[in-house]
Copies of this chain bind each other. A is one copy, B any other.
Amino acid sequence: MKAVGIIVEYNPFHNGHYYHVQETRKVTGADVVIAVMSGNFLQRGEPALVSKWTRTKMALEGGVDLVIELPYAFATQKAEIFAYGAAFLLDALQVDCLCFGSESGDINAFKHTVKMVKAKKKEIDDYIQNAKKQGKSYPRLASEAYQSLQLSNNVVDLSQPNNILGYHYLEALDRLQSHINPFTIKRKKANYHDHEFADNRFASATSIRKALIANGSYLKEIQDVVPKTTYNHLQNYYQDFEMYHFWEDYFPFLKYRLLSTTAAELRQIYEIEEGLEHRLIHLISESATFHEFMTKLKTKRYTWTRLQRICVHILTNTTKEQMKAVAIHPTYIRLLGTNLIGQAYLNKIKKNISLPIVSRLASFSNEQIALDIRAANIYASCLREKQRSKMIRNEFAQPPIRYDQINSRFL
């Protein structure tokens, strides 16, 4: 059984994701597709639109065979740590290859870039160190460094968000001395940050979320750009939980937290540095919405997503000390869902696997998964009490989602 790993958020699962899963099977010739998926909070520092369980169903019905949760300690991190956590899990799951979407689409260029950056590490670090005073953000500086050092022609453009992630996947595999064989697929038309639908079948997840913010449960506008199963699951989720999850829904809690904390306490929170705690406390009381707060908070030095991640850590009360203790590597494989093929693959590798497989939250506990539990509790906090307690009961008691047939072909 040949297995391929993919690293996803599915926020929500759309036609571009479906295309990526199909292409992944095609180019790698894999029998089983394993997705490592972020849980309640995502890499850009946002709550997931709908729960991980609903997103797991979307994934399984969209062609994925096995869905594993990327722990909070890696899911809410900058690209480098996010990529390392995900690659570590895929390596532990003994997949044969990894396949990611990128703007570049050229795997040799990625391999070459990793080699070049490794060779020129000192020069790059020096460049960034020198240019830091200009107050630019780290991703911007890194991208400039690669350009200015003219590593060579065949280097990937690291100002593109999916290229950056891809680069870090390869770097992580290198660090892990993994045998996983990397593949990349050139992304279809819709750009990562597109805010409007690019054509009538493909749209970015960002533009889909934007349509949902604007229209709530009125899903007509997105029906051409997501599989029918996603459409149905989004509809059901709204019926069950009466909302999709956006940052604004959590803003009262973030605000309450910032209004009831001291600067000294806030400085303990992960990623809060350089006096940012004072600006956070100062700006919160004059901000009516999360968007207004972020706009006031934004500076050249901090990217929007970095600030959002910081806000997630404040919201979940994740300290430097806690993160330092657990963000070393994933310590468990949390199984969110599987079909028969995924199950067969799991049975095959079970004996040789180094990490414990967690099927039910209630049956496992350690410091790293404690952050996932807390994130789940906070994620559910903005629901009405009835739905909140239902979601939390499920989180603890629910076994992984199991599909007894191979994914339905629905497009």
Contacts and interface: CB of A to CB of B under 8 A. Distances in A.
Interface of A: 252-253, 255-257, 259-261, 265, 285-286, 288, 315-317, 374, 377-378, 381, 385, 389, 392
Contact of A259 (B255, B259, B378): B378
Given A253-B253, A253-B256, A256-B256, A377 B285 contact: yes
Contacts of A259: 374, 377-378, 381
A385 B315 CA distance: 19
Nearest to A386: B288
Contacts of A381: 252, 255-256, 259
A261 B317 contact: yes
Given A257-B260, A285-B392, 16 more contacts: A252-B252, A252-B253, A252-B381, A253-B256, A257-B257, A259-B374, A259-B377, A259-B378, A259-B381, A260-B315, A260-B374, A260-B377, A260-B378, A261-B317, A265-B317, A288-B389
A252 to B, nearest CB: 7
Q: Report, nearest first, the 10 A-B pairs whose CB atoms are least far apart.
A: A259-B377, A260-B317, A288-B385, A253-B256, A256-B381, A260-B378, A260-B316, A260-B374, A285-B392, A261-B317
Contacts of A256: 253, 256-257, 378, 381
A69 B252 CA distance: 28
Contacts of A389: 285-286, 288
Nearest to A255: B381
A253 B254 CA distance: 10
Nearest to A380: B259
A378 B284 CA distance: 13
Contacts of A253: 252-253, 256
